[in-house]
Each structure stands twice: as C-alpha cells, then as structure tokens.
Amino acid sequence: MFGFSVYLSAPITACTKNRVARLAKSGFEGVFTSLNLPEDDSSVLLQRLTDLGSECRRLRLELTVDISTVALERLGISLDKVHELTDIGVTQLRIDNGIPMPSVAALSRKMGIALNASTISKQDIELLKDSQANFNNLEACHNYYPRKNTGLEEKWFNQQNAWLKKNGFTVIAFAPGDSDLRGPVFATLPTLESGRYQHPLAAALNLLNNNVNKVYIGDADLQVETAAQFDSYFRFNTLLLHATTEIDLPEYLTAGDLVFHQRPDVARDAVRLREGRSLKEKTIKPANIKERVRGAITLDNKLARRYEGELQLIKRNLPADPTVNVLGYISQNDLDLLEACGANQAIQLVF
C-alpha cells in the first residue's frame, strides 16, 4: 500500500482537496498527518483534522494520525475517548514513546495502532501479548528524518524490519516527495538517509525491497510527472522513463504505447530490453559513437552482428564502442529508476 502526507499547518482548502483527490486517483490509498508539530496552531488543529477526515472518508482513504499524550492534551482529547477521532474519519493512530503498552493494547482493540518501528523491543511485544493486544490492528511505523544525515542506515533498517515482520507487525516507512517540501529544513522527509534525494518512486521501491509493507510520501506533494509515474506503476507495473534524443530514432521507438521489458537475467552495467533485436526492421548503420554515460539509451549497429538492434539503458559509465550507437538519454530526474528495473520489469520510454 502507498500513501501520502497532508499536514495541518494550513487549512484544508479547495486546493488541498484537489491535491488529495488527484493523488487518490493516481492510486494512493492512505493519508498520513501529524498532531505533533510544535509550530502548528492547536486552536485550529481539530477543525482541520475534521475537514481532512471528511475528505478521506469521501475518497475511501485510510487516515493515520501521529499523536502523543501532549498532542492529545492540546486538543482536549483523552486516550479513553479516541472514538472522538474515529468519528471524524481517523482509522489509525501512530503512537511514539510515552504511552504505556497496556494502554496501547487497549487502543488496539478499538482501532488501528502503529508503534515506533525503530524502538519496539522484545519486552514491549511481551507486554502487548500479556495485555491482550489485537495484533491484527498493530503496525510498526518508522519516523521520517527532516535533518540531513540523520536518516536510518539501510542494513540496520532491513534487519529491524525483518525482525518486526517475524513478530507479526506490518512495517511502514517514508519516501521523500519532490514538490512542496516541508519546512523549516526543506531537505525532504525520508526514513532512509540513502533515499533523501532519490526519485520518490525509486526510494519507495527500495523501501519495499527492505522488508517494508506500506510506504507513505513524507513531503506534502509530488510533481505531476512523478505522480503519473506512480500511477503507471500502480496500474500496469510499468516504469515510465522520460528521455531526450540526440539522433533520429528508429520508427518503432517513437510509438507512444510501446512497452519494453528488462530481460530475466539482470545485467550489472545495463538494462537490456528483450524486445530490441526482434523489432529491428532494417540495417542499422554506425552513428553517434561516443562514451556511454549512465542513462544513455543505446542501440547496437550492424558491426555488432547478431546483437544488431539490441537496446540498452546504461546503468554505469562505459567507454565508446564502435558497435554501439548512442540514441539519447534518460532524464536526469529519472536516473534512480534504472536501479529499480528488476527482472522482467516493464518499461515505457517517454520521448
């Protein structure tokens, strides 16, 4: 499941509702928000949360709210009256430290609860079991890290997630956005430091490869092109890669609906598109022979003999080869997606 974030530092305006509807239409299924941000005006938070909950209900989106005892006190809501939140459309509470596990267990019998995935201990799990927690309603949600160089280390993250899943938790983490970055730091909101400035879809797919079940975009929005790439992935499991050309393309490459596939045997240096040679219609003369930098789109010419017509997307810098024509380049913004191209991955080039 993929979701996005809506913050309550501003009213839920028509513009906000349009953004929520646009991302829901792109295939996102959940919304994350927080009541823990100290810069937010507590006198208007409950009304804004009510407005957001109404919109989520209308669009059938899950709504997860990050809370603490301090945040609830600011709103005048106690833990034994969480129905006041579920009544306005909140489906899950994300609880950080400070609320005892027996109280968490009691809450889990009423609604979805997400605990801090980085700090859950074996003792916490035993307390939850002893307190008859409903583990069907329990998930583990990592933080996002606004400050550069504070995001999690990937190996530890993967191991922690594997342990959480072994203990019955669904794992949630955050990928960065690429539009309307949240202040005051404006350095994106990822869980993994390695994902901080990655393409949001590439960062999200990497989280899934690290034992994550649900991914939320931490920042408040995505560029229109990026949202379309998520939409294509959700609907068709196809990666859209924007590209530019340097020389005339073979006619078959200009067909807008043509979908290629990575070969099942994944190469180290290039994404090899298995349809390339079978689409060749005539002899390919050598042209634009030059260094093949990361992101280059290449076509083997007649000097490659039986490889003539092979199409590749270059993943690491390679020297010029007289048998290989450089047709153009994947957009700089989309280069991270080359590493997301696994075996048999469907790919569509957008020139």
d(CA 254, CA 264): 25
For tokens 């990822």, what's the residue?
190
Judged on CB neighbours under 10 Å (0-12, 13-18, 19+), 197 is middle
Q: Is the dihedral of CA 15, 144, 140, 202 positive or negative?
A: positive
Query: Going by C-beta distance under 8 Å and a sequence separation of 6 or more, which residues neighbour residue 272?
Result: 262, 263, 310, 311, 312
Could you give the strand order of the β-sheet that contains 260-261, starting from the edge strand earlier in sequence? 260-261, 346-350, 238-245, 324-330, 296-300, 311-314, 270-273
- Work out the angle between the directed axes of helices 200-208 and 224-236 (0-180°, nearest 10): 40
Fold of 2-235: TIM Barrel (3.20.20)
Looking at the structure, give the CATH architecture of the domain made up of residues 240-350.
Answer: Beta Barrel (2.40)
Query: Going by C-beta distance under 8 Å and a sequence separation of 6 or more, which residues neighbour residue 19?
Result: 6, 221
pTM value is 0.95
Q: Tens-of-pLDDT digits for all 351 residues of the chain?
A: 999 999 999 999 999 999 999 999 999 999 999 998 877 788 899 999 999 999 999 999 999 999 988 888 888 888 888 888 999 999 999 997 788 999 999 999 999 999 999 999 999 999 999 999 999 999 999 999 999 999 999 999 999 999 999 999 999 999 999 998 988 899 999 999 999 999 999 999 999 999 999 999 999 999 999 999 999 999 999 999 999 999 999 888 887 789 999 999 999 999 999 999 999 989 999 999 999 999 999 999 999 999 999 999 999 999 999 999 999 999 999 999 999 999 999 999 999
Beta-bridge partners for 262: 273
| Angle at the Cα of 162 from the Cα atoms of 63 and 115, rounded to 5 degrees | 35
- Read off the pLDDT of residues 5-35 as tens digits, 9 standing for 90 and up: 999 999 999 999 999 999 999 999 999 999 9
- Using CA atoms, how far residue 129 sits from 39, 98, 108, 119, in Å, is 36, 19, 11, 17
d(CA 271, CA 287): 21
Beta pairing class for 138-141 and 2-5: unpaired
Beta-bridge partners for 62: 30
d(CA 82, CA 78): 7
d(CA 338, CA 61): 31
For the chain, domain boundaries? 2-235, 240-350
**Half-sphere exposure in the Cβ direction for 94 (13 Å, CA):** 24
For tokens 């799990």, what's the residue?
125
Give yes or no for a contact between 218 and 196, defined as CB atoms under 8 angstroms apart: no
Give yes or no for a contact between 49 and 74, defined as CB atoms under 8 angstroms apart: no
